[in-house]
Amino acid sequence: MIQLTVAAPAGERVDAYLARAVPDLSRSQAVQLIEAGQVRLNGKIPRKSEKTSAGDTLEVELPEAQPSTLEPEAIPLRIVYEDADLLVVDKPSGMVVHPSAGHAHGTLVHALLHHVQDLSGIGGVLRPGIVHRLDKNTSGLLLVAKHDRAHRALSNALKQREVQRAYLAVAWGHLDRDVLTVSAPIARSPNHRQRMAVVAHGRAATTHFRRLERWRAADLLRAELDTGRTHQIRVHLLSIGHPVVGDLTYAPNAVRGMGGPAQGWSRELSRRVPRQFLHAAELSFTHPSSGVLLKFESPLPDDLSAAANWARETS
């Protein structure tokens, strides 16, 4: 049972307030709890749309975490840090983080269950320990909690933007400046339900880009997240006309538009990049138990490193 006292400013919907105030609770989960009668506003079951007032008391009964029914799988896994509270994993490209439709086996969760015996159950039976995610074809550093206390602390730190994440990305063309911030709301695309897009009613999202290298027809960028929306870097770069090289979901035909003397170079880079050029290279956060600031870095994996070396040599 969690008890909360609403502070000013007031006037927020109950479901929205709970999603913001309770670590690792989504808005849809908040609605489910309200509809199940597990939320009390000043002692009464509220409507999900009911507005809060300063001084209101909310009681939330969270269900017990259920044990995972997934079978561990002996999949190779690169663990770069581990202690009693958490792990930092360097995920390879091609590995899905957790089970979903079409991915019942071979996920990072299956591998974690083999390597770690005491994963947090707060993410649910299909996502034990998972604090944040990476796309299937994005490689790099991922944070995993071993128990619920660490999971709540790390999820809350993520919500409060106290977990710093930076990526290496290659975008087609050249940004018009070396340092650029994109602030644009993101939601599911109204035209393509499998994609995300910049949408006026979407959730706020901000990405900071810094050009590290200027190649013949592409830029190597460092992208730092203020928020962590689905496909955020890919969507933001697409929105400013510089999609990620190798992104077959958002810009499958981008290289066709690269004309002029760099056309041949662009086609060769596209051929050499085996998947979207996006790698979670930096991760830093305060340890939930010790309070020590931890920082980790992951170099470009071999597939992307080889393409980057060719691009440098030919630019």
Active site positions, annotated: 135
Element (H, E) at 79: strand 78-82
- Which of 142, 147, 163, 144 lies closest to 293, judged by CA? 163
3-state helix, strand, coil in the chain (%, to 5): 25, 30, 50
Alpha-carbon span 94 to 128, nearest angstrom: 20
What is the residue whose two structure tokens read 């997240």? 225
Cα separations in angstroms, 185 against 189, 201, 202, 224: 12, 7, 5, 16
Cβ–Cβ under 8 Å, residues 46 and 14: yes
